[in-house]
Amino acid sequence: MLRTALDIDLPAIDELTIACYRPILESYVSMLGEECYAAVRHDPELTWEERKTRQNRDLYARHPEGLDDAHIPARRAYEAVGFDRPVPGVEYWQDLSERVD
């Protein structure tokens, strides 16, 4: 059942976010490499779990009618109820420390 999130749902959303985002993060780090990932991440003093749950909570504070829909588990849920227009995105990165002039 899909419904609007409530404040009391946030701890469970945090747990679900961490469980579902872990493979996405691992894939992202694998594609970028540990050093490049570490160089570009926001709020380096936070763990990835803290950054990701903060991102969700900040989004919820601004738009309580829905959270992050950019990942596979969420897309599957939306598709199951009839959403059918995904918008993919692409990012390009380069490790400049390996660049030879």
Residue 54 lies in a domain: yes
Residue 98 lies in a domain: no
Segments forming the whole domain that contains residue 41: 8-86
Could you state, in chain order, the average pLDDT of each consecutive group of 10 residues for the chain (101 residues)?
83 92 89 84 87 89 66 78 76 77 68
Burial of 7 by CB count in 10 Å (0-12 exposed, 13-18 middle, 19+ buried)? exposed
Residue 92 lies in a domain: no
Residue 94 lies in a domain: no
pLDDT (0 to 100) of residue 8: 94
Instruction: Count structural domains, the chain.
Output: 1
Residue 43 lies in a domain: yes
Structure tokens at 92: 């390009």
For residue 20, count other CB atoms closer than 10 A to its CB.
Answer: 15
